[in-house]
Amino acid sequence: MDSRVHSKDVKHAVYQKLQERGVGIEEIARIVMEMQIAYNPLLTLAACVESVHAVLNKRELQHAILIGIELDSLAERGLLSEPIQSIVSSDEGLFGCDETLALGSVFGYGSIAVTTFGYLDKRKSGIIRKLDTKAGSHVHTFLDDLVAGIAAAASGRLAHQQRDREEGTPASAPGADSASME
Amino acid sequence: MDSRVHSKDVKHAVYQKLQERGVGIEEIARIVMEMQIAYNPLLTLAACVESVHAVLNKRELQHAILIGIELDSLAERGLLSEPIQSIVSSDEGLFGCDETLALGSVFGYGSIAVTTFGYLDKRKSGIIRKLDTKAGSHVHTFLDDLVAGIAAAASGRLAHQQRDREEGTPASAPGADSASME
Amino acid sequence: MDSRVHSKDVKHAVYQKLQERGVGIEEIARIVMEMQIAYNPLLTLAACVESVHAVLNKRELQHAILIGIELDSLAERGLLSEPIQSIVSSDEGLFGCDETLALGSVFGYGSIAVTTFGYLDKRKSGIIRKLDTKAGSHVHTFLDDLVAGIAAAASGRLAHQQRDREEGTPASAPGADSASME
Amino acid sequence: MDSRVHSKDVKHAVYQKLQERGVGIEEIARIVMEMQIAYNPLLTLAACVESVHAVLNKRELQHAILIGIELDSLAERGLLSEPIQSIVSSDEGLFGCDETLALGSVFGYGSIAVTTFGYLDKRKSGIIRKLDTKAGSHVHTFLDDLVAGIAAAASGRLAHQQRDREEGTPASAPGADSASME
C-alpha cells in the first residue's frame, strides 16, 4: 500500500495535537510522579517524562490519541451528526467510548496500569481535571481519558521497570522486551 | 442537563445508521446462527434476531456503533484531518481502535463473546466480509468490527441463556439480570 | 454431561465462601453506597444490597469468586507449589492475576464499572482495606480484588439503572435486558 | 520483602511446568507460524520461536501460566474443593476464568493479539486441540487457553515488529520499547 502513513508522521502528529490541545508532556509526567512516588521515593520527574515518551511511542496509543482528539475537535466545531454531536459535546457520564478507547492502550502495561487508569479517571488530578472542567467552548470528552491513559501506562511501565532494576533483570516489564530477545 | 439525548433517540439513530450503511439485522443474526447452531441444534433464526435486538438495546454498544459509523462516514467524505484520514480510509491492519471500540461492548457478554469476536474478526463471515471488502468508495473500517462485535455479543447472550434454560434458572447469564433481582 | 454442577449449587457456594472468608454482603453494599451517593442523593443501602445480589447472580463472577477464594485458602494452608505459593501468600504488587480475574466480571457493567474498580483497588475503602491488611495468617490476595470487583459491578449497574429510570426506559443498562427483549 | 521470589526463578518454573505438562516451545511457535505466514511469507520458525521466548519473558504472563497450571494439576489430583473441582475438571464451556486469565496477558500485544486469541481459542489448532481433547485423566482446562494466549501474544508481537522493520523504526510495537527510550 503506497499510501501507508509512516510511523514517524503519526508520532509527529501525536505530539503536535497534544500541544495544540494544551497538554504538555511534563504535565502528564507530574501525574505519573504523583502516582509512583509512594513506591519509589527516589523517582525523578525526568524518569517520569521519559516514561511518558516511551508509551507515546506505541502505535495503538498514538492512534487512540489521534482518533480521540479528532472527535473532540469535530464536536467542538459542531461537525458531528446527531445524536453523537450532543453526546460527545456534553461529555455525558455513561458515554463509555472515551474510557474504552483509552483503556485499549493501558492494558499493555499490566494490571497496575488498569487500576491506575481507573483511579485517575475518577479522581482527575492535575491536567486531567483542567481538561475535564471544560472552561469555555472546548470539548475534551476523549482527551481527559486519554491523558489518564497515558499517565497510567507510563506509571505501570515505571512500576515494572523498578522491579526489574531491583532484581537486575531488565526483561519482564510489560511493554519492554529484553534486549537479548529482540 | 436539559440537552441530554434520550435513549429512545439514540436507539432510533442506531437502527437507522445500520440500515443506511447496508447492514441488516437479519444478516447479523445469520452470523449468530452460524456460530451457535453447533451448540444448540434447535436454534432458530428468530431467536438469533431477538438476541441481536437485545444487545442493540445496550447503551455502550449503541454509542460505539454511532461513533464508529460517524468516523467511517467522515473518512469516506475525506473530512478527517491527516494522518487519521489516511489511516482510517485505508483500514490499515495495525490501526487497533476499530477492534478496541467494538471489544468494549463484547466483554459484557462473557468470555465466550470475546473469543467469538476474535474468531469472527479473523474469519470474516457473511456481511462482515462484504463490509471488509470495501467495494467502491465505501469506508467500513469500524463497521466490520462493530458487526462482528454485535454478532459476538448476541452469540454469548444465547449461550448463557441456553444454559439457564437447561437448568430452569434464567438468572445467571451476563447481560440478563433475574427478574426477581430487578 | 451428568456431572455438570447446577447454577443453584454454584451460587450457594459463593455466598457460603464469602461468609466464611469474613465478607458480608452489606459491607460490600456500603462501598457501593459510598461510590454512588454523589450521583444519586436518594440512593438507599437497600438498593445497594439489591445491586450486589444482582451481580452475584452472574455465572462468570461466581466462578471468579470461587477460584480466587480457593487459591487464597490453598495459599493460606501452604498447599500451592512454589514459586506460586510464595507469590500468592505475599500478595506481591506486580502479581496481576488477582486484578485480571476480578476485572473479567467488571467489564460487563460498562466503562464506569471499570474505572470504579481501578479507584477502589487503589484506595481500598472499608472491607477491601480490612482484607488487604491481612491481619494474622490470612491470605486475601484474590479476595480484596474480587470484593472491589463486586462493588464496582454493582455500582456500574446502579449508575445505568438510575439513568434508565430517569428516562423511563429500563432497557439499556449493561447487565440488564429489557423484559420485552427477553 | 526478603521472601520475594526472584524473576529468574519464576521464569525457570514457567519453562519447567510447560515441559512437564507436555507443551513444547516449538509446538507453540508452529501455531504462531500458521497465524502469521499469510502476512509475511518470509517468516521463519526460528523467528516464531524467538517471539514465543520474548512473550514468555513477561511477568504477568508468567504468573498466569503458573496459576493456570497449578489449578489444572490440583483439579487432576482432585484437590480442589467443590463445586470448583467439578467445574475445572469438566472444562465446562461457560466457566470463563480460563479465558479471562489468558486474555490478561494478550492485551499487551495489541488488538491483533486479542482477535488472534479468540480465533485460536475457537479453532484450536495443533497443540491447543491436543490439550483440549484431554485424553485420559489429564486436566488442561487452563492450559489450552494459556497456550492460545502465548501464541496470540507472540503473533501480535511479530505483526508489529514486521511493520517496524518495513519502516526502519523498531520502536512502536506493543511489548517493545525503542532502545533510545529505555
ipTM score: 0.90
Looking at residue A102, its amino acid is A
Residue C178 reports pLDDT greater than 80: no
Residue C2's closest chain D neighbor by CA? D90
Q: Which of C57, C167, C174 sits opposite B178 (nearest CB)?
A: C57
Instruction: Output the pLDDT for position A1.
Output: 42
Residue C106's closest chain D neighbor by CA? D100
The DSSP secondary-structure symbol of B14 reads H
Instruction: Output the pLDDT for position C136.
Output: 67
Directed axis angle between helix B25-36 and helix B141-167, to 10°? Answer: 50
Residue A97's closest chain B neighbor by CA? B64
The whole-angstrom separation of Cα B53 and Cα B48 is 9
How many Å lie between the alpha carbon of A17 and the closest alpha carbon of chain B? 11
Q: Which of D63, D96, D104 sits opposite C87 (nearest CB)?
A: D63
DSSP D103-150: HHHHGGG-HHHHHHHHHHHHH--HHHHHHHT--TT---HHHHHHHHHH
Q: Which of A63, A79, A97 sits opposite B87 (nearest CB)?
A: A63
Q: Which domain holds residue D106?
A: 7-171
Count other C-beta atoms under 10 Å from residue A59's C-beta.
Answer: 23
Does residue B94 contact residue A95 with C-beta atoms inside 8 Å? no
> Is C87 inside a domain boundary?
yes
- Give me the residues of chain B with pLDDT under 50, please: 1-2, 176-182
Count other C-beta atoms under 10 Å from residue B23's C-beta.
Answer: 23
Does residue D141 contact residue D180 with C-beta atoms inside 8 Å? no
B14 vs A contacts (CB less than 8 Å): none
> Is B180 inside a domain boundary?
no
Which is nearest to C151 in space by CA: C128, C174, C171?
A: C128
Over residues C89-121, the pLDDT tens digits come to 998 888 999 999 999 889 889 899 999 999 999
Q: Which of D8, D172, D181 sits opposite A7 (nearest CB)?
A: D172
A96 to B63: CB separation less than 8 angstroms, yes or no: yes
Residue A181 reports pLDDT greater than 90: no
Residues 6+ apart with CB under 8 A from C57: B171, B172, B177, B178, B181, C11
> Is C10 inside a domain boundary?
no
Residue B100's domain is classified under what CATH number?
1.10.3760.10
D3 vs C contacts (CB less than 8 Å): 86, 90
**Partner C contacted by D16 (CB < 8 A):** no
D66 vs A contacts (CB less than 8 Å): none
Helices (H), chain D: 7-20, 25-36, 45-55, 59-76, 84-89, 97-106, 111-123, 126-132, 141-167
Residue B5's closest chain C neighbor by CA? C167
Instruction: Output the pLDDT for position C172.
Output: 55
Over residues D109-163, the pLDDT tens digits come to 989 999 999 999 998 878 888 887 766 689 999 999 999 999 999 999 999 998 8
**Partner A contacted by B178 (CB < 8 A):** no
Over residues A31-89, the pLDDT tens digits come to 999 999 999 999 999 999 999 999 999 999 999 999 999 999 999 999 999 999 999 99
Count other C-beta atoms under 10 Å from residue B170's C-beta.
Answer: 16
> Is B181 inside a domain boundary?
no
> Is A59 inside a domain boundary?
yes
**Partner B contacted by D68 (CB < 8 A):** no
The DSSP secondary-structure symbol of D41 reads T
The DSSP secondary-structure symbol of A179 reads G
Residues 6+ apart with CB under 8 A from B24: B18, B127
**Partner D contacted by A176 (CB < 8 A):** yes
Q: Which range, A121-125, B110-114, C135-139, D76-80, has the best average confidence (pLDDT)? A: D76-80
Q: Which chains touch B (3 or more CB pairs under 8 A)?
A: A, C, D
Mean pLDDT along residues D156-179:
69
Over residues A152-171, the pLDDT tens digits come to 999 999 999 988 888 876 55
Mean pLDDT along residues C164-169:
78
Residues 6+ apart with CB under 8 A from A135: none
Mean pLDDT along residues A134-139:
76
Does residue A63 contact residue A11 with C-beta atoms inside 8 Å? no
Residues 6+ apart with CB under 8 A from B106: B113, B114, B117, B149, B152, B153, B156
Instruction: Detail the DSSP E strand segments found in chain A.
Output: none
C108 to B110: CB separation less than 8 angstroms, yes or no: yes
D90 vs C contacts (CB less than 8 Å): 1, 3-4
The count of domains in chain A is 1
Q: Which long-range contacts (CB under 8 A, 24 or more apart) does B5-8 make?
A: B5/A82, B5/A83, B5/A86, B5/A87, B5/A92, B6/C167, B6/C169, B7/B59, B7/C163, B7/C164, B7/C167, B7/C169, B7/C171, B7/C172, B8/C167, B8/C169
The mean pLDDT value of chain A amounts to 88
> Is A137 inside a domain boundary?
yes
A6 to D167: CB separation less than 8 angstroms, yes or no: yes
Residue C177 reports pLDDT greater than 80: no
> Is D179 inside a domain boundary?
no
Residue C66's closest chain D neighbor by CA? D84
Residues 6+ apart with CB under 8 A from A166: none
The whole-angstrom separation of Cα B66 and Cα B155 is 21
> Is A180 inside a domain boundary?
no
**Block residue for cell numbers 472546548:** A138
Over residues D3-16, the pLDDT tens digits come to 688 889 999 999 99
Over residues D65-118, the pLDDT tens digits come to 999 999 999 999 999 999 999 999 998 888 999 999 999 889 889 899 999 999
A60 to D173: CB separation less than 8 angstroms, yes or no: no
Picking from A172, A178, A180, A182 by the largest number of D CB atoms within 10 A of its own CB, the best residue to mutate is A172
Count other C-beta atoms under 10 Å from residue C49's C-beta.
Answer: 18
Instruction: Output the pLDDT for position C143.
Output: 96
**Block residue for cell numbers 497456550:** D147
Residue A58's closest chain D neighbor by CA? D172
Does residue B56 contact residue B11 with C-beta atoms inside 8 Å? yes
